[in-house]
Structure formats: C-alpha cells, structure tokens
C-alpha cells in the first residue's frame, strides 16, 4: 500500500494513493453508489468527471439476497460494473439513521473482504454530537476494540478505521492515536454528518483538527459523509484527503443544485449560473419542465460536475500555493464557515498549522480580507523576525508601505539619510508587519499583494508585531509618505546592502546567527547581469549559497552546509539517515522517508537541511519535502531531495 505526498499547501496535501484497482490522486471525492439504484453509473462517472474511486455500501449489498450472492460470486466490481477502485462502508451510518441493525461487526468486514472491496470499513460506533462524554467514550472504546478485531481478518484489503469521539477533542485525539497504533491504512473521520447538516462547521473543524493531531500523518484521511464542496477547501487545508458524496443525488431528488458557494433551489432560479454540459444544454425553464426522473438525473450530473470542478480547483491551489486564498474566499460566502475560519486565528491552531506550512510557494500571497494576516506563513515570519532577526543598529528609520521592492522604490531616501547619518536601519511598516529593508525580496514580503489600505483588524495585528519589533530602538525619523509614482521615479539601486541582505535572509531562514558562521571570510557576491539580483555567494572562493530569484531564499550548497553543520549543534537543521543508505545518498539519490531515523523538529516543508549519518557526519545537503512528524510516519516516498553530497 502506498500513499505518497507529491505537493502540499497549508496542512493539505496532493497525494497518490495506490489501490489494487489503480492509483488515485487525492484530494478527491468518492461518489456514493447505491447498488439498488444507480442514477449515474460509475463507468459514466469516470468518463464524465474523471472519477477514480467510488464508494458503495456493504450492508445494503449484504442485506439483499440477490446482491449478496452476486457480490460473493462475481465480486463487487462486477456487481456495480466498475473496474476502478471501490471503497465499501459497513452499515454504521444505517445504524445511526435507523437504530439497531442486525449485523456482526466482524462478519461485515469479512464480507467486504470476500467481495473484493479495495477499501473496507470497520463497523464503527457512530458518535453523535449531542451525546454525553461518557457515552461517547464507550463508543470510542468499542470502535477501537472492533478495529483491533477487524485488522486480523482483513487480509489484503485496505481497512478504513473510523475516528469517532463526538465533539470531544480529547476523545477524538485518543481514538485517533489508538487506531493509528493498529497500523491500518485508511482513516475516516466519522460522526460528523449531523454537524454538517446543521452547518456547524466550527465543531466540524475542531473534530478534524483533534483527529488529525492523533492520527499517523502518513495515512489518508477521509471526511465521512462530506459531500458539499463548500467545505472542501477548508477541510483539505486541515489535512483531509477524501470526501464522499451522496449529496449529489439527495439534493437532485430535492430539485436542488450544488454550487461552490452553497445550494440553490432549481425552482428559484431564473437562469442557471453555471456552464457545465447540463446547464449549457438546458436553460432553467427547460430543466424545470422535465419529468421527475429526468430532472433528478440531470441535476445529479450538474452536482457532480460542480463538485469535481471544485476538487480540481483545490488541487491546482495546492500546487500553486494559493489554497488559503481559496479557503478564505469560500468562507466569505458562508457565515458558519467564516466562524470556523475565525477559530483558526487562535494561537494553538496557528502553532499546529505552522508545522505543515511550506517555507515558500511560487505564487504571490493575495490578501482577501482580515483573515489573511492570520495565515500560518505570516505567523511564522512574525515569529522569526522577533526570534531570529538581528538588526545592525539601534537607530531605525521607519518607512511607510510603498512600492515593491522597497529597496528600489526607497533608494533615494535611504541614500540621503545614510549620507547624512549613517549607522542606521530601515524598516518598512508594511501591511504584513515590519519588513527590514534587507528582507524586501524574501518570501512573502516581496511576493504578496495587498490593497493600498487594509482593514482595521489587520492593522491591529501588524501594529502589535511592529511595536514589539522596534522595542528599545531609537525611532528617529519618520518620512512623510510620497506617492508611488514619485517614489518610482527615483528607482535606482544605489546603495550596496548586499552583505546586510544576505545576512538578514540567512538568519531568518536558517536560524539566529547563521550569518555569523556563513559569512566569516572573504565574501564575493555574484549577481544576475539581467536583473541585478543576487545569485551566488562565495566565501573564501567557496560557493556556499545561491539565492533563488523566485522567493529570495537561499539554496544551500555543500560548502555552506559544512559551515552550518560545524556551527549549529546537533540536531539543528539535521535529517539523520540510516547507515546503510549513506552510499545511495552519496550517489546523488534522494532520501526516502523510510530511511530517516530522526530529524530537527524545527524543519519545515521545503526547508534546506543537512543530511547526516547516525554519527552526525555530514553526508549531503538537500531540501525537505516533509516535516519531522511526517518523516517519522511515512514509510514510503521522498523525504528530502538531495542537492549536493560529500565525496
Ligand atoms: N458515513 C457517514 N458517517 C459515517 C461514520 O461515522 N461511520 C461510517 N462507517 N460511515 C459513515
Ligand atoms: Zn451546471
């Protein structure tokens, strides 16, 4: 079984998941197939929407003599005529809806195995949001017990072990932790349908976060019963990989249409605000006139088009690095979702999310409103500014927000002041918070787009960081704001800040005083002839660093790695690998998660790192794809892309 991260954004991931019936790209949606009544066949779904995996119900199949016998004889793939991946559910949901159902928890797992399900589900105990903690705990204990029994009979079927625990975060986390111990391969988060039905997205995200905290990070996570695309971006950003939907049929039967921002009743629509094949073929009045069977079929199709389009948008957003923007935009279209997003502003949630947040992305950060300032990347740079950045002087000139890059647009002012005073730092009071002039090309300071004026809540957050940042400094000059055009006219790079710039970036990126170690010798800086930007840095004629044009951050060369390795104490910046893989790494191969023994808990996705053996000999330098908890959890896929290795 293989689940591998290919790209990532927020705590979300783009993965490949291997099943016996093909590899599935996640995040994705499993349309629910009713074996008694297939409104749209799985085959048609594959053709129309690119569906790679569907879910059907083993309890329903088992209950019906004909279906049961056909499934046992020919397998579930033939039963629903689909040769892609099939997940089956166990009957838990039916027992929640209809009360006691007559089914044995182990028999139903064996049955799923025997009909050839790719992913079978345990008969977990559905924890409702309103139950007492005592009741919820009993359900969790029974669920864990059943999972332990089920794993013994699953054979080569992937077993989905559902996390329950009602709305009690400690129970969720405990359940997730216990289930992770039994080493199943798939983890749904269950018991959340009532929360979604009541649009209680606040409790929903609390359940997701608590479950994720206890789960093994190398396993796929499914949000059971989540079929409305409205919540997909936020759920993906929190680390959910799979969703399943019967909503597409249920809404269609109710003459309702799904849209990314919510649902609309067909009968309330004069026009169809959609250009899917259904909405292009019919106009609203034509659709309304169809008989019930036809309208249901066409609305179900529309609903799936919309749902899969949203999934594709999310996957693009992961690759482009603008998932948080999509989350914020969707939250702005629903007050309950907004309420949930607000909860992520809490420090404990920011701290949790920051661990998974990539160091940089190739797309600029776009402001969408007052939530933007609370993104984990901004929390991180604020923290690093306060912890890692070391200013050169006690005198600071504050410059107002202006055109980027600031060092170009403020070149004239800086030159003037420097000539008169010297020994002075320049800090821009930007919409993101304080930006020391030497960091003006670093992600996300340069790669961010804010309106000319930002909202009050953002100002409050940035002011606080700003005040902390300039504490104990002499603010001796505050330049009146010029218009952007005037500033632009003076756009000439006149001052040589290069050493200060590389020092500031090195400290922010690698840690406090990294610059002291790295630039201890004769420094030669090579710049791009075309852009004038710093490209390569040599110390005593050894190439130690390169600066990436895209995000203004360094890539670490072997010589630079040697210096940092000597300077920083174990385990800082290290990824420790097994002795027997050293020769592979020295051959230029990348580090696979399986061979990582441990690593620095401060390393973040896409951070530069030092690859060392168990005796802390430096083997290579590279770029992490995973953080520590992930490196330790994954037994498959790449952990670090090796860049240069020792001889
Ligand atoms: N479908 C929707 N919610 C659930 C759940 O909590 N458990 C299972 N097994 N299936 C579900
Ligand atoms: Zn449509």
CA of 370 to the centre of ligand 2 (A): 32
Q: Which residues participate in catalysis according to the annotation?
A: 89
Q: Quick one: which ligand is closest to 273's CA?
A: 2
Out of 55, 58, 90, 93, mutate this one to test ligand 1's pocket (max ligand atoms within 8 Å of CB): namely 93
Q: Is the CB of 129 under 6 A from ligand 1?
A: no
Question: Among the atoms of ligand 1, which is closest to the Cα of residue 225?
Answer: 2
CA of 21 to the centre of ligand 1 (A): 23
Q: Which residues contact 230 (CB under 8 A, 6 or more apart)?
A: 260, 261, 262, 330, 333, 334, 337
Q: Which residues contact 224 (CB under 8 A, 6 or more apart)?
A: 93, 162, 188, 189, 190, 191, 192, 193, 244
Question: Among the atoms of ligand 1, which is closest to the Cα of residue 191?
Answer: 6
Asked whether the beta carbons of 618 and 595 are under 8 A apart, the reply is no
**Per-residue tokens: 457:** 């809540």
Q: Is the CB of 436 under 6 A from ligand 1?
A: no
Spell out, as residue ranges, where the chain has pLDDT lower than 70: 1, 476-496
Q: What is the DSSP letter of 488?
A: H
Q: Quick one: which ligand is closest to 309's CA?
A: 2
Q: What is the DSSP letter of 359?
A: S
Residue nearest to atom 5 of ligand 1 (CA): 190
Report pLDDT digits (tens) over 553-608.
999 999 999 999 999 999 999 999 999 999 999 999 999 999 999 999 999 999 99
Q: Is the CB of 193 under 6 A from ligand 1?
A: yes
Q: Is the CB of 244 under 6 A from ligand 1?
A: no
Cα dihedral across residues 498, 504, 507, 510: positive or negative: negative
Strand ranges (E), 63-184? 85-89, 119-121, 158-160
Q: Is the CB of 92 under 6 A from ligand 1?
A: yes
Q: Do the first three CATH levels of 365-495 and 520-645 match, i.e. the same topology?
A: no
Backbone angles phi, psi at 621, to 5 degrees: -120, 155
What's the pTM? 0.95
Which CATH number applies to 2-347? 3.20.20.105
Q: Is the CB of 243 under 6 A from ligand 1?
A: no
pLDDT value at position 478?
A: 53
Q: Quick one: which ligand is closest to 277's CA?
A: 2
Question: Among the atoms of ligand 1, which is closest to the Cα of residue 160?
Answer: 9
CB-CB neighbours of 413 under 10 Å: 18
Out of 96, 97, 228, mutate this one to test ligand 1's pocket (max ligand atoms within 8 Å of CB): namely 96
Q: Quick one: which ligand is closest to 306's CA?
A: 2
Q: What is the DSSP letter of 192?
A: -
SS (H, E, C) 209-258: HHHHHHCCCCCCEEECCCCCHHHHHHHHHCCCCEEEECHHHHHHHCCEEE
Q: Is the CB of 190 under 6 A from ligand 1?
A: yes
CA of 78 to the centre of ligand 2 (A): 30
Q: Is the CB of 96 under 6 A from ligand 1?
A: no
Q: Is the CB of 150 under 6 A from ligand 1?
A: no
pLDDT value at position 100?
A: 77
Residue nearest to atom 4 of ligand 1 (CA): 190
**Per-residue tokens: 262:** 């919510």
pLDDT value at position 496?
A: 56
Out of 101, 120, 162, 163, mutate this one to test ligand 1's pocket (max ligand atoms within 8 Å of CB): namely 162
pLDDT value at position 384?
A: 97
Asked whether the beta carbons of 169 and 349 are under 8 A apart, the reply is no
Q: Quick one: which ligand is closest to 108's CA?
A: 1
Asked whether the beta carbons of 140 and 171 are under 8 A apart, the reply is yes
Q: Is the CB of 93 under 6 A from ligand 1?
A: yes
CA of 87 to the centre of ligand 1 (A): 12
Which CATH number applies to 520-645? 2.30.130.10
CA of 18 to the centre of ligand 1 (A): 22
Domain 365-495 has CATH 2.60.120: no
CA of 552 to the centre of ligand 1 (A): 46
Q: Is the CB of 122 under 6 A from ligand 1?
A: no
For Cα atoms 49, 10, 211, give the angle at the middle one, nearest 5 degrees. Answer: 85
Domain-wise residue ranges, the chain: 2-347, 365-495, 520-645
Among candidates 218, 212, 216, 134, which has minimal Cα distance to 168?
134
CA of 274 to the centre of ligand 2 (A): 5
CA of 88 to the centre of ligand 1 (A): 11
């Amino acid at each position: 079984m293989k689940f591998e991260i290919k790209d990532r954004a927020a705590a979300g991931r783009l993965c490949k998941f291997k099943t016996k019936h093909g590899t599935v790209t996640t995040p994705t949606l499993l349309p629910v197939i009713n074996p008694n009544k297939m409104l749209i066949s799985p085959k048609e779904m594959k053709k129309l929407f690119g569906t790679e995996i569907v879910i059907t119900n083993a309890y329903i199949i088992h209950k019906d003599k004909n279906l049961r016998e056909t499934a046992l004889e020919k397998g579930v793939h033939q039963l629903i005529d689909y040769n892609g991946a099939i997940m089956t559910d166990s009957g838990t949901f039916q027992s929640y809806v209809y009360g006691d159902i007559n089914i044995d928890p182990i028999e139903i797992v064996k049955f799923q195995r025997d009909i050839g399900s790719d992913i079978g589900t345990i008969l977990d105990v559905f924890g409702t949001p309103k139950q007492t903690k005592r009741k919820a705990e009993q359900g969790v204990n029974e669920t864990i017990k059943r999972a332990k029994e089920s794993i013994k009979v699953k054979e080569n079927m992937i077993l989905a072990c559902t996390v329950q625990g009602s709305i009690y975060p400690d129970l969720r986390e405990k359940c997730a932790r216990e289930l992770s111990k039994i080493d199943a391969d798939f983890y749904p988060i269950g018991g959340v349908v009532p929360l979604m039905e009541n649009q209680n997205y606040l409790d929903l995200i609390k359940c997701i976060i608590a479950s994720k905290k206890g789960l093994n990070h190398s396993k796929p996570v499914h949000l059971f019963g989540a079929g409305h695309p409205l919540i997909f971006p936020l759920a993906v950003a929190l680390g959910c990989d799979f969703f399943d939907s019967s909503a597409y049929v249920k809404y269609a039967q109710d003459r309702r249409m799904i849209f990314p921002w919510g649902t609309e009743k067909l009968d309330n629509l004069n026009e169809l605000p959609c250009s899917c094949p259904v909405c292009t073929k019919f106009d609203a009045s034509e659709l309304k006139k169809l008989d019930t069977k036809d309208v249901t079929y066409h609305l179900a199709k529309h609903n799936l088009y919309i749902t899969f389009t949203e999934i594709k948008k999310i996957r693009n957003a992961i690759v482009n690095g603008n998932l948080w923007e999509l989350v914020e935009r969707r939250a702005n279209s629903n007050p309950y979702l907004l309420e949930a997003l607000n909860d992520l502003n809490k420090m404990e949630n920011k701290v949790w999310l920051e661990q998974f947040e990539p160091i940089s992305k190739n797309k600029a950060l776009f402001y969408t409103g007052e939530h933007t300032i609370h993104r984990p990347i901004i929390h991180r740079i604020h923290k690093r500014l306060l912890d890692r950045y070391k200013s050169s002087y006690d005198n600071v000139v504050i410059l107002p927000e202006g055109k980027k890059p600031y060092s170009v647009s403020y070149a004239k002012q800086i030159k003037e002041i420097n000539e008169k005073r010297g020994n002075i730092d320049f800090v821009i009071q930007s919409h993101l918070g304080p930006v020391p002039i030497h960091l003006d090309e670093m992600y996300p300071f340069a790669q961010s787009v804010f309106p000319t004026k930002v909202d009050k809540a953002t100002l409050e957050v940035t002011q606080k960081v700003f005040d902390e940042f300039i504490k104990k400094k002499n603010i001796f000059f505050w330049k009146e704001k010029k218009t952007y055009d005037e500033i632009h006219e003076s756009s000439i790079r006149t001052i040589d800040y290069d050493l200060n710039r590389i020092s500031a970036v090195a400290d922010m990126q690698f840690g406090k005083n990294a610059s002291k170690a790295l630039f201890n010798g004769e420094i030669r800086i090579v710049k791009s002839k075309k852009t004038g930007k710093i490209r390569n840095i040599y110390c005593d004629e050894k190439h130690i660093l390169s600066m990436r044009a895209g995000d203004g951050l360094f890539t670490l060369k072997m010589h630079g790695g040697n210096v940092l390795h000597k300077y920083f104490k174990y385990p800082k910046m290290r990824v420790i690998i097994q002795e027997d893989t050293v020769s592979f790494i020295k051959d230029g191969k990348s580090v696979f998660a399986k061979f990582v023994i441990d690593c620095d808990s401060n390393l973040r996705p896409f951070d530069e790192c030092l690859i060392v053996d168990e005796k802390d000999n430096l083997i290579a330098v590279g770029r992490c794809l995973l953080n520590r908890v992930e490196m330790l959890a994954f037994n498959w896929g790449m952990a670090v892309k090796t860049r240069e290795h020792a001889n």
